[in-house]
Amino acid sequence: MFSNQCVTRQLNTEYCQLNTTTMSLAVVLLAAGHGSRMKSKKQKILHQVGGKPMVQHIFEAAETAADHPPALVIGVGGDGVKRLLDGRAAFVLQTEQMGTGHATMMAQPLLQGRSDQVLVTYGDMPLLTAVTMQKLAAQQRETGAVIAMLTVWGDPDSAFGRVVRGDDGRALEIVEVANAKRRDNAAELLAIRELNVGVYCFDADWLWANINKLPLRQARSGREYYLTDMVEIAVQQGKKVTAILADDADEGLGAGTRAELVAVEKAFRRRFNAHWLAHGVTLVDPETIYIDAGVTIGQDTVIWPNTFLQGETAVGADCIIGPNSLIRDAQIGAGCVVEQAVVEGVTLAAGQRVSGGRYDHESAATAVD
């Protein structure tokens, strides 16, 4: 049976081999937004994907990639994030919502002089992996660029900023859609398929020496500093900016609305179901099978449709699970059969069979052999 740690390591293939330099990497997660488009009482980054809050997924990837505890920039009302990651993260308060550049400025007193590189990204990107973070850091380090940014190949109707490259292939500018529409070459700009996803690795000394040069721009919600303007500052100084395409475009997905959360959840499920299919588990109909990030499954187990494996569930080898079953925070021994049942918070001994009904600490097993 695979442990949770093994699953994480296999999904972040050979991450430890990427961090072979003596240069140190710090990660800043921008987590101050309220997520008003979610129409929710809680912050958007606390909404769950794959059984965990979105911010927890990316925080754990950052923990793996970085050489320091990740720094989270939180806003007023960020107590939920602090409770979730207390003791593991460094927290910085952004009292005014003045954009991504301003949020990054808030981390300067904490991080300046402590690392050679600073990777900055959003707290609502649960599919971004430690491997990709480290590849981006390696790109920045090896090319000598002051900024390395992650891009994806996307659709022409995307709302993401366009990455403009020069004839030599170097990144010159990030043009947001609203800005592109005001330019004479709007059609040309909007046709660009390479999109900025908001993941940047900076040379730390250059970042902290120049971030206060960001211009204050008018946004819909007020005046803001945009972190994307650091690209223009670098190009004006004759500094190199590089961009690399993500191997998996799903890593660039974020969720600012509930509809976007559905898309992220589906992408998460594709990734984890593919993982288990590649590691000896049969999923009869992956489109109807839901497996949380904290779940482990043994070899030659077969999972039938309409099955949900949730929380910290461990399923042994040679089991038959489903159809129409929900297992939450349970330990299922090798060779068990669970069909059309709810099993929660209990341990099933090897070879046990549960068919129909509910099996937990408070209710009797109605059909247990």
Q: What is the pLDDT of residue 71?
A: 97
| Range list of H helices, 117-185 | 130-143, 177-181
Q: What is the pLDDT of residue 221?
A: 77
Q: What is the pLDDT of residue 80?
A: 94
Best CA proximity match to 50, nearest among 255, 310, 301, 355: 310
For residues 333 and 301, give the distance between their C-alpha atoms in angstroms, rounded to a whole number: 11
Q: What is the pLDDT of residue 363?
A: 65
Q: What is the pLDDT of residue 22?
A: 59
Q: What is the pLDDT of residue 63?
A: 97
Give 4-258's CATH code, choosing from 3.90.550.10, 3.30.450.40, 3.40.50.720, 3.30.450.20: 3.90.550.10
For residues 107 and 92, give the distance between their C-alpha atoms in angstroms, rounded to a whole number: 6
Q: Could you read off the pLDDT tens digit of each residue along the chain, which spans 369 residues? A: 444 444 444 454 333 344 444 579 999 999 998 778 888 889 999 999 999 999 999 999 999 999 999 999 999 889 999 999 999 999 999 999 899 999 999 999 999 999 999 999 999 999 999 999 999 999 999 999 999 999 999 988 899 999 999 888 889 999 999 889 999 999 999 999 999 999 999 999 999 999 999 999 887 778 999 999 999 999 999 999 999 999 999 999 999 899 999 999 999 999 999 999 999 999 999 999 999 999 999 999 999 999 999 999 999 999 999 999 999 999 999 999 999 999 999 999 999 999 999 999 876 444 444
Q: How many CB atoms lie within 10 A of CB 95?
A: 9
Q: What is the pLDDT of residue 36?
A: 85
The b/e string for 16-49 (b: 16+ C-beta within 10 A; e otherwise) is eebbeeeebbbbbbbbbbbbeebeeeebbbbbeb
For the chain, the structural domain boundaries read 4-258, 281-359
Q: What is the pLDDT of residue 156?
A: 85
Instruction: Classify domain 281-359 at the CATH superfamily level.
Output: Hexapeptide repeat proteins (2.160.10.10)
Q: Contact 270/278 with Cβ under 8 angstroms?
A: no
Size of the chain in residues: 369
Q: What Å distances lie between residue 359 and 308, 318, 325, CA to CA? A: 15, 20, 11
pTM of the model: 0.88
What is residue 13's DSSP assignment?
T
Best CA proximity match to 32, nearest among 63, 90, 91, 76: 76
